[in-house]
Structures are given as structure tokens and as C-alpha cells.
Amino acid sequence: MDVDRVADLLAAHRRVVVLTGAGVSTASGIPDFRGPQGVWTRDPEAERLSHIQTWLAEPDVRRRVWRQRLAEAATRPAPNPAHHALVELERLGRLELLVTQNTDGLHLEAGHEPERVVEIHGTNRRVVCLECGHLQDMDEVLERVAEGDHDPHCERCGGLLKAATVSFGQPLSPRQLARAHEAAADAELFLALGSSLTVFPVAELPRVAADAGARLVIANAEPTPFDHVADAVLGEDLALLLPALVERLR
Ligand code: NAD
């Protein structure tokens, strides 16, 4: 049984590094991109909206996205049992680093120590000015949208504002990427959770860990391109699987 095997691996290794993707947040009501109900599976045109060029060139898209963010702010998703289980893993002293591709901010909201989390694709809880780099809370900007500023610009320099996420066509932070690589190379056990492992360079982290000698566990509802290098592959729902695994550790 792979679940028993993974429970044994967790019990036997202390330096655990975790990579999460959109599948960790689906139980919070946030659709993934490439799963059967994913945003891009249902509407391939939606992928275009994730490119920085679209944001820079299309004021209509910006207005639509700000409006949508404002509408969604009233019913913000909450962390689910998968997020809480990973916080428990940290409290048990087993989590070295959590690298997340998610931009929803739910890992930090669940209660991790911020220095144990790398939000490698940024966060939509904050907004950045693309000219001067000024950062502010999303809610501050949404207040302006609610007051009728439908394409808000930076109050300091007039530059274009965008959620502080990494869109396609934007570079990842070299410092954060280096930290994720170092942790992967130094891990005893690497868990890749809820990710299709198709967005590079993050998707190469499981292989970096395995090549450096870590045991590799992949838990995802669908097959990934790295399943063949993993020590164990699990397809269970993460909101059930992770609490069960962490419970066994106690
Ligand atoms: P992805 O959509 O490519 O893959 C998610 C995978 O999770 C799918 O293969 C799906 O089968 C699996 N999955 C869904 N629910 C699951 C569950 N309950 N249990 C187990 N597996 C489950 O997502 P990705 O690999 O993270 O890459 C998508 C990119 O899009 C990332 O860069 C991320 O920044 C962004 N994204 C973020 C969010 C978010 O912040 N919540 C949501 C969608 C996309």
C-alpha cells in the first residue's frame, strides 16, 4: 500500500521539503488550471489572460479582472484540511521548506511561519506597481476599485498596478528560486502535492531532489511526467490524504 509506505517514509525522514500546486486548494473552492474541472480545461482562452503582455496591452482585460477580484473578495476562500495538515507537519518539526506555486495565500493564512514558505509564483493578496515596485495590500486597491477607479494606477508614480503574482512572461525571483533549489537538493524526503508538474522551472524541483538522493513522493489526482522517478505515487484527494498521513505521525 503506497499510503502505508508514505507514512513510513514520513516517519523515517526529518528534512521534508514540500512543493504544492493548485490541487491543494481545490477543496477550498478554487479551481485548478489543468485538472478535469480546471479553468484552462474548460476555457482554453483563459490561459491568454495569464500572460503579462495581455495585462500590459488590454485595459478591458484589466478592468474585467479588477471587477472580478472585487466581486470575489466578499467570499474569500479559507484554508482546507490539506493546508492545516501541512501546518501540523511544520509544528511537528518535520517541515524544512514549503514551496508553493499557488498564489492564493492560503498556506500562510493557515498559520505557517512565513520564513518556511516560498510563494514562488507570488501572491494575489498583494498588489505591485510594475514601474516602481511599490507593494500594497490587495484590499487597499480593491477599495479604490469599489469607489469607481476601474483601472487603478500607482499613487506614487502613476505606473500600472497588477496582483503581485508571476504571470507568464515574467521572471521568477532568482533569490526565491535559488532557495527552493537549495532546499530540494538538501531534502531527505520531497513531497510534490497537487501539481501537474508542467510549469517550469518549478516542475524540475522533484527531479533535483531525487537526483540529490531524496526519496520522492508524488500525490496528485492525475498522472504527472515525473511519476516514474518517484518512490511512491498517490492519487487520493489531498484534503483527506494529508490529514490522515500527519495523524499517523503523531
Ligand atoms: P495544475 O492545474 O496544472 O495541476 C493541478 C493538479 O492537481 C491537477 O493535475 C489535478 O488533477 C490535481 N488535483 C486537483 N484537486 C486535487 C485534489 N483534491 N487532490 C489531489 N489532486 C488534485 O496546477 P499547478 O501544477 O499548480 O500549476 C498551475 C499554475 O497555476 C501554477 O503556476 C499556479 O501558480 C497557478 N494556479 C494557482 C491556483 C491557486 O493559487 N490556488 C489555482 C490555479 C492555478
Pick the atom of ligand 1 nearest to 202's CA: 32
Cα angle 103, 83, 168 (rounded to 5 degrees) comes to 20
Which segments within the chain are labelled E, that is strand?
16-20, 95-100, 117-119, 122-129, 135-137, 161-165, 189-193, 215-219, 232-234
**172 C-beta closer than 6 A to ligand 1:** no
Give the separation between CA 29 and CA 190, rounded to whole angstroms.
Answer: 26
Å from CA of 1 to ligand 1 middle: 25
Mean pLDDT over all residues of the chain?
94
pLDDT attached to residue 2: 77
How does pLDDT run across 101-140, given as a tens digit for each residue? 999 999 999 999 999 999 999 999 999 999 999 999 999 9
Query: Does 42 contact ligand 1 (Cβ within 6 A)?
Result: no
> For residue 195, with 0-12 CB atoms within 10 Å meaning exposed, 13-18 middle and 19 or more buried, which class applies?
buried
Ligand 1 nearest atom to the CA of residue 26, by list position: 15
Question: Of all protein residues, whose CA lies closest to atom 13 belonging to ligand 1?
Answer: 23
Q: Rounded to the nearest whole angstrom, what is the distance from the C-alpha of residue 52 to the centroid of ligand 1?
A: 20
Catalytic residue among 51, 107, 121, 228: 121
Cα angle at 214 between 24 and 22, to 5 degrees? 15
Proportion of the chain in helix, strand, coil states, percent, rounded to 5: 45, 20, 35
Q: Which residues of the chain have pLDDT under 70?
A: 1, 40
DSSP one-letter code for 20: E
Nearest residue by C-alpha to atom 7 in ligand 1: 23
123 lines ligand 1 (CB under 6 A): no
Cα dihedral: 67, 72, 74, 77 (round 10): -160
pLDDT in tens, 34-44: 777 777 677 77
